Amino acid sequence: MGSDYYKKKDDKGKTRFDLIDFGTMKGIADVLEYGLEKYGAKNSWKTIENPVERYTGAFHRHFIAHNNGVLFDDESGLPHLSHAMCNLYFLSYFESIAGVVVDGKSEDDSRVDDNS
């Protein structure tokens, strides 16, 4: 192969998924799989009432447990940090995909927060 074969590929502006550690992402997938087994429906997490409030609370419970030295969830046996990351994944979904903003304001809310 000639030297032209290995020319630079322009990836500017493209998302760099190669920067993600997929071993860590496996922890989120394990929590999602546990939820599938427990609740019996794929993506049932998208259909609960008050998702932002509930997933924020769940995130805090798992993160606090981890910070208190409890590394694994008693019920699932999975790491609390995996549960916490999964809850952040859910919150990110509701904010960026479904249009529910985690801070309580909708995407259409043009109010300015004077306390910032």
Alpha-carbon gap, residue 98 to 93, rounded angstroms: 6
What pLDDT score does 115 carry?
41
Q: Tokens 């990110």 sit at which residue? A: 92
Most distant CA pair in the chain: distance in Å? 62
Closest CA to 43 of 35, 54, 31, 52: 35
- Mean pLDDT to the nearest integer, 43-65: 94
- Mean pLDDT to the nearest integer, 49-63: 95
In this structure, are residues 22 and 58 in contact, taking their beta carbons and an 8 Å threshold? no
Summary mean pLDDT of the chain = 84
pTM of this structure: 0.74
